[in-house]
Amino acid sequence: MTGKFLGYRCSLCGTEYGPSEATYTCPKDGGNLDVVLDIESLRAKFQPSDISSRLDPSLWRYLPLLPVTEYPGDSTPLHAAGGTPVFALRRIGERLGLKQLWLKDESRNPTASFKDRASALVVARAREIEAEVIVTASTGNAGAALAGMAAAVGQKAVVLAPRTAPPAKIAQLLVFGATVLLVDGTYDDAFDLTLKAAEEFGWYCRNTGHNPFTAEGKKTAALEIWEWWQTAHKAWYQELGEGAEHPPLTVFVSVGDGNIISGLHKGFKDLLQLGWITRLPRLIGVQASGSAAIANAFHANTETITPVTAKTLADSISVDLPRDGVRAVRAARETGGTYVLVSDDEILRAVAELGLSGVFAEPAGATAHAGLLKALADGVVQRDDPILVLNTGSGLKDTHAAMRAVGNAPVVEPSIKALKEVLQK
């Protein structure tokens, strides 16, 4: 096993395990396991410029900071995960009076969601431990990401998704050639069945949060944000002046199982431990009010996650029992962030507003933007705060929801008279 990958530490009881002493969650209490890296030796060996001078724009530019030795699938879609662009949301920023507003567009990943980051790492890990089959439960995106990344390197993948998943996501799974099973139940039912199947058939389980490598993949977005921020903030800080109180970067992210936000937190904590940053960006998690188990725990000031009966049109974040809830609560608490709740109507309005800035987000992706609007109205963020919103998935994943956000186009007879009439309305 690789020298930099020391093993795991339980997020609940703190017990440490060697790389082959645990695979998923803590054998003692089921807590999520954090990957432990040999930060001391990484700090001695690398400078930030050793990373930023790497020519590879994909997430594999961070290979020195990841718990795998190498990645399979050079020049394939597996190689292309990460490296997503950051855009200035100028028009929305002007409307809201925000001076510094950006969006990092994760829909530009190979299978069009943030989940490619996690699946890329899990596939790399699966190759190292010579797993024959990888299985995952998914609301759609994690499965599509696994199916796509696995197809790229000829790895077998099995995906269990709720039968209610949007058709485009199911089509993606099938096109990538995974064994696809539509569970007659919720995402949580699919999750539990996947755990049993992995045990029964000896498959390697990718389940979000359950597999410690998912958060390691997701942390690469934090590493990208760090690299981007080093140049993006320069002009801004100059304007504020030497020695001024600089507000931290605030990052808005939608939350279902809580693994994206905990992965981001892990990435920033790694950077802090390396001494490459001096403070953590503020992480604000956004949940749909119909699927708010983590936000509820955060606001009740507890780490006990009480399941809900999830109901939201943002299918990717519709989760009864979040599988990375404790770390997700801490991600906001330990960074000075918070949790914000938004309604389905607010999510649809955010889909429409992002569209007017040239960004096509699925409901769960636009949830982060809806959360920004809410946080601004509630005074949680200030107009001087530099803000980065993550769009975690493409609007093409769920065109039904997109149409609900914007309504149908009028039909016109093919004559200029009819066209004029319609345009005048």
Ligand X SMILES: Cc1ncc(COP(=O)(O)O)c(C=O)c1O
Contacts with ligand X by CB under 6 A lie at 113-115, 139, 141-142, 208, 254-260, 316-317, 362, 364-365, 392-393
Question: Amino acid identity of 331?
Answer: A
Residue reference for tokens 């930023």: 52
The dihedral built from the CA positions of residue 109, 394, 226 and 267, taken in this order, carries a sign that is negative
Closer Cβ to ligand X, 139 or 338, answer by number: 139
Closer Cβ to ligand X, 346 or 362, answer by number: 362
SS3 331: helix
The b-or-e profile of 335-368 (16+ CB within 10 A means b, else e) is bebbbbbbebebbbbbbebbbebebbbbbbbbbb
CA-wise closest residue to 351 among 394, 415, 292: 394
* 29 contact choice in Zn ion, ligand X, none (CB below 5 to 8 Å, kind-dependent): Zn ion
Closer Cβ to Zn ion, 230 or 304, answer by number: 304
| Shortest reach from residue 218's CB to ligand X, in Å | 7
- Which of 1, 2, 12, 399: binder of Zn ion (CB under 5 A)? 12
| Orientation angle between helical segments 167-175 and 141-153, nearest 10 degrees | 10
Angle at 328 between CA 41 and CA 290, to 5 degrees: 160
Question: Amino acid identity of 333?
Answer: R
Per CB under 5 A, contacts with Zn ion among 31-90 are: 31
- What is the rounded CA–CA span in Å between residue 379 and residue 281? 18
Q: Which residues contact 269 (CB under 8 A, 6 or more apart)?
A: 280
| Shortest reach from residue 137's CB to Zn ion, in Å | 22
| Shortest reach from residue 397's CB to ligand X, in Å | 7
| Shortest reach from residue 3's CB to ligand X, in Å | 29
Parallel, antiparallel or unpaired: strands 101-105 and 86-88: antiparallel
Closer Cβ to ligand X, 68 or 293, answer by number: 293
CA-wise closest residue to 13 among 23, 35, 34, 28: 28
Task: Please give the full DSSP string across 9-30, using - where no structure is assigned.
Answer: EETTT--EE-TTT-SSS-TTT-
* 393 contact choice in Zn ion, ligand X, none (CB below 5 to 8 Å, kind-dependent): ligand X
Parallel, antiparallel or unpaired: strands 5-10 and 16-17: antiparallel
- What is the rounded CA–CA span in Å between residue 91 and residue 37? 42
Closer Cβ to Zn ion, 13 or 129, answer by number: 13
* 4 contact choice in ligand X, Zn ion, none (CB below 5 to 8 Å, kind-dependent): none
Number of residues that bind Zn ion (CB under 5 A): 7
- Which of 4, 7, 24, 26: binder of Zn ion (CB under 5 A)? 26
Candidate ranges 25-33, 43-51, 205-213, 301-309; the one touching Zn ion (CB under 5 A): 25-33
| Shortest reach from residue 2's CB to ligand X, in Å | 25
SS3 391: strand
| Shortest reach from residue 20's CB to ligand X, in Å | 26
Residue reference for tokens 């920023």: 93
| Shortest reach from residue 423's CB to ligand X, in Å | 36
- What is the rounded CA–CA span in Å between residue 119 and residue 122? 5
| Shortest reach from residue 61's CB to Zn ion, in Å | 33
Candidate ranges 7-15, 44-52, 156-164, 180-188; the one touching Zn ion (CB under 5 A): 7-15
* 392 contact choice in ligand X, Zn ion, none (CB below 5 to 8 Å, kind-dependent): ligand X
CA-wise closest residue to 224 among 76, 393, 104: 104
* 115 contact choice in ligand X, Zn ion, none (CB below 5 to 8 Å, kind-dependent): ligand X
| Shortest reach from residue 260's CB to ligand X, in Å | 4
Report yes or no: 392 and 114 within 8 Å, Cβ to Cβ.
Answer: yes
Binding of residue 396 to Zn ion (CB under 5 A): no
Report yes or no: 414 and 127 within 8 Å, Cβ to Cβ.
Answer: no
Site string for Zn ion, 157-196 (x = CB under 5 A): ----------------------------------------
SS3 361: strand
* 10 contact choice in ligand X, Zn ion, none (CB below 5 to 8 Å, kind-dependent): Zn ion
Closer Cβ to ligand X, 281 or 371, answer by number: 371
Closer Cβ to Zn ion, 17 or 298, answer by number: 17
- Which of 4, 5, 10, 258: binder of Zn ion (CB under 5 A)? 10
**Which spans of this chain sit near Zn ion (rule: CB under 5 A)?**
10, 12-13, 26, 28-29, 31
